[in-house]
Structure 1
Amino acid sequence: MAAITKDYSTISPSAKTLLWMKALTDIPFAREAAGLVFGDTNLPGEEDERVTVNFLKRLMHFDVRYWSIDAALEMIGLSNVLEMSSGFSFRGLDHVRYLDKFYIDTDLPEVIEAKGALLQPLMRTLPEAPVGQLLMKPLNVLDEEAFRALVRRFPPGPLAIVNEGLLVYLDEPEKKRLCAIVRELLRERGGYWITADIYIRKYENEVAAMSEVTPEISKFLSDHRVNENKFESFEQAEAFFRSCGLRLAYKAGPDVDRLRSRTLLKRKGAEVPSVPLVQRYRIRETWILEPR
Structure 2
Amino acid sequence: MEKQPRDYSTISPSAKALLLMKGLTDIPFAREAAQLMLAPEPYVPDYDKKEPWYWGRVVHFENRYHSIDQLLQGIPHQNILELSSGFSFRGLAAVQQQPIHYIDTDLPDLIVTKQRFLHDLLQHLPPAKGQLDTLPLNALDEQQFMAVISRFADGPLAIVNEGLLMYLDQQEKSLLCSLIRKTLEARGGYWITADVYIKRNYESDQASGTEDQLTSFFAQHRINDNMFDNFDAAAAFFHEEGFEIDKEARTDYSRLTTFNHLMKNTDPAMLEKMRQRGKTQATWRLRLR
TM superposition score normalised by structure 2:
0.90
CA-CA distance at 1:5 after TM superposition: 2.1
Per the alignment, residue 252 of structure 1 pairs with 249
Alignment match, 1:220: 217
Partner of 1:84: 83
Q: Deviations over 1:99-157 (max 9, x none)?
A: 0110000000001000000002111222x211000000000000111111111111111
> 1:225 offset after TM fit, Å?
1.2
Report whether the alignment pairs 1:101 with 2:100: yes
| Distance in 1 separating the partners of 2:158 and 2:169 | 23
Matches within 5 A, 1:4-83: 5-39=5-39, 41-47=42-48, 50=49, 52-83=51-82
- CA distance in 1 between counterparts of 2:229 and 2:195 reads 13
Letter in 2 for 1:100: P
Q: TM-score, normalised by structure 1?
A: 0.89
Distance 1:138 1:62, change over 3 A: same
Residues 112-261 of structure 1 aligned to structure 2 (within 5 Å)? 112-126=111-125, 128-203=126-201, 213-214=210-211, 216-261=213-258
Give the share of equivalent positions with the same residue, in percent: 46
DSSP 3-state at the match of 2:180: helix
Aligned pair in 2 of structure 1 residues 3, 145: CA closer, same or farther (>3 Å)?
Answer: farther
CA contact (8 A) 1:107 1:138 kept: yes
Paired residues in the alignment total: 283
CA contact (8 A) 2:158 2:191 kept: yes
Equivalent position SS for 1:197: strand
Distance 2:188 2:211 in 1: 43
CA distance in 2, matches of 1:27, 1:258: 11
Amino acid at match of 1:260: T
Aligned-pair RMSD on alpha carbons? 2.5
Aligned partners of 2:174, 2:210: CA distance in 1, in Å? 30
Q: Distance in 1 between matches of 2:250 and 2:275?
A: 11
- 1:23–1:43: 8 Å Cα contact kept in structure 2? no
Q: Distance in 2 between matches of 1:226 and 1:161?
A: 22
Contact 1:44/1:51 (CA < 8 Å) preserved in 2?
Answer: no
Change (3 A) 1:278 1:247: farther
Cα deviation for residue 74 of structure 1 reads: 1.4
Cα distance in 2 for partners of 1:269, 1:236 equals 32
Tell me, in whole angstroms, the C-alpha distance in 1 between the residues paired with 2:104 and 2:152.
Answer: 12
Residues of 1 paired with 2:155 and 2:24: CA distance? 37
Q: Give unpaired runs (5+ residues) of structure 2.
A: none
Q: Where does residue 284 of structure 2 map in the other structure?
A: 287
Shift of 1:77: 3.9
